[in-house]
């Protein structure tokens, strides 16, 4: 594979349009449906496959984060599969040794960022389509529709997972940072009302992990759903997270929005980032403390 096929962690619609049909490139739509909770404990999630069938980028396939791309034996939703299981699921989507992946979604980029993080965790070259599906449509990109059987078949070939250390944190890691037993910063990617506990939560309890900083993922995007220019992005991040706060442990409700912040930090060349996979769904179900109110 050409190591320079992907220009970076983000690609724009013009770049992707120019690479449609490239056999080295796999395009995946990672959209899932996760409505805002109407009351505490209101957890509803659904695959985005039906919407993908209605309209998608030519040659793309739907990557179902509610299906084989999650570990359903875990005690929380959207758990990252073991590397071998993740690789096996990705091969069914055409990902193999020697390919690169561009991921997009119709949900503000959080689902694409989640799959991007998962791909990178096993050393698969990956990028996110900046602006996602709305940006593609706004740029006049071509579309296709139809069931999965009508989309390009997965190209045969093996995918060898090469796990990279430091990508995932567990509940004991987050707890150690919260207690001051390990250096670093806990950063919550939820919107302010989710962080301070004024909005309903789909999890067991409201609030955030003690000592957390608030850096909502949506604040790092412009009105069109694209990541802010580097200077503005750095200003937003540095106002919350000084460079000396390392390592960074990101979390949200289920490890999804946190991946968008991980992508933003990657764009700023920070490599001291881990993602707490269980996030608040796991934490709130434990006896560990949660606090409400601002940071």
Q: Which two tokens stand for residue 46?
A: 């659904």
Backbone phi, psi, residue 32, to 5°:
-130, 165
* Pairing mode, strands 32-33 and 46-47: antiparallel
Render pLDDT for 122-135 as a digit per residue (tens, 0 to 9): 999 999 999 999 99
Q: Is the pTM of this model over 0.85?
A: yes
CA angle 220, 225, 230 (to 5 degrees): 45
CA angle 9, 12, 14 (to 5 degrees): 140
Q: What does R_g of the chain's alpha carbons equal in angstroms?
A: 18
Task: Assess whether pLDDT exceeds 80 at residue 20.
Answer: yes
Task: Identify the pLDDT of residue 244.
Answer: 74
Task: Identify the pLDDT of residue 148.
Answer: 56
Q: How many CB atoms lie within 10 A of CB 250?
A: 27
Task: Identify the pLDDT of residue 4.
Answer: 65
Q: How many percent of the chain have pLDDT more than 90?
A: 92
257-267 and 110-121 helices, crossing angle to 10°: 70
Q: How many CB atoms lie within 10 A of CB 108?
A: 17
Backbone phi, psi, residue 287, to 5°:
-95, 10
Domains of the chain: 10-150 (3.40.250.10), 168-285 (3.40.250.10)
Report in angstroms the alpha-carbon separations of 233 from 126, 166, 193, 206, 229.
Answer: 21, 24, 22, 28, 6
Residues annotated as catalytic (active site), given as ranges? 252
Render pLDDT for 184-217 as a digit per residue (tens, 0 to 9): 999 999 999 999 999 999 999 999 999 999 999 9
Q: Which of 283, 115, 82, 105 is nearest to 201 (CA)?
A: 283
């Amino acid at each position: 594979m050409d190591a320079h096929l992907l220009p970076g962690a983000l690609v724009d619609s013009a770049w992707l349009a120019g690479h449609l049909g490239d056999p080295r490139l796999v395009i995946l739509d990672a959209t899932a449906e996760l409505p805002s909770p109407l009351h505490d404990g209101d957890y509803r999630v659904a695959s985005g496959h039906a919407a993908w069938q209605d309209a998608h980028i030519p040659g793309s396939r739907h990557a179902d984060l509610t299906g084989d791309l999650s570990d359903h034996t875990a005690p929380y939703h959207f758990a990252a599969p073991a590397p071998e299981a993740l690789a096996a699921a990705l091969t069914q989507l055409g990902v193999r040794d020697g390919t690169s992946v561009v991921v997009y979604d119709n949900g503000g980029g959080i689902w694409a960022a989640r799959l991007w993080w998962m791909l990178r965790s096993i050393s698969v070259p990956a990028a996110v389509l900046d602006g996602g599906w709305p940006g593609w449509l706004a740029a006049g990109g071509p579309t296709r529709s139809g069931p999965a059987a009508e989309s390009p078949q997965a190209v045969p070939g093996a995918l060898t997972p090469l796990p990279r250390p430091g990508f995932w944190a567990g509940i004991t890691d987050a707890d150690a940072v919260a207690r001051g037993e390990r250096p670093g910063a806990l950063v919550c990617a939820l919107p302010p009302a989710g962080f301070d506990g004024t909005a309903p939560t789909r999890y067991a309890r409201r609030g955030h992990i003690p000592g957390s900083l608030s850096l909502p993922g949506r604040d790092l995007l412009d009105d069109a759903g694209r990541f802010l220019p580097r200077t503005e992005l750095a200003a937003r991040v540095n106002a919350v997270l000084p460079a000396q706060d390392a390592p960074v442990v990101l979390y949200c409700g289920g490890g999804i929005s946190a991946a968008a912040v991980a992508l933003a930090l990657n764009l700023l060349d920070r490599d001291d980032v881990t993602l707490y996979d269980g996030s608040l769904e796991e934490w709130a179900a434990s006896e560990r403390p949660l606090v409400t109110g601002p940071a």
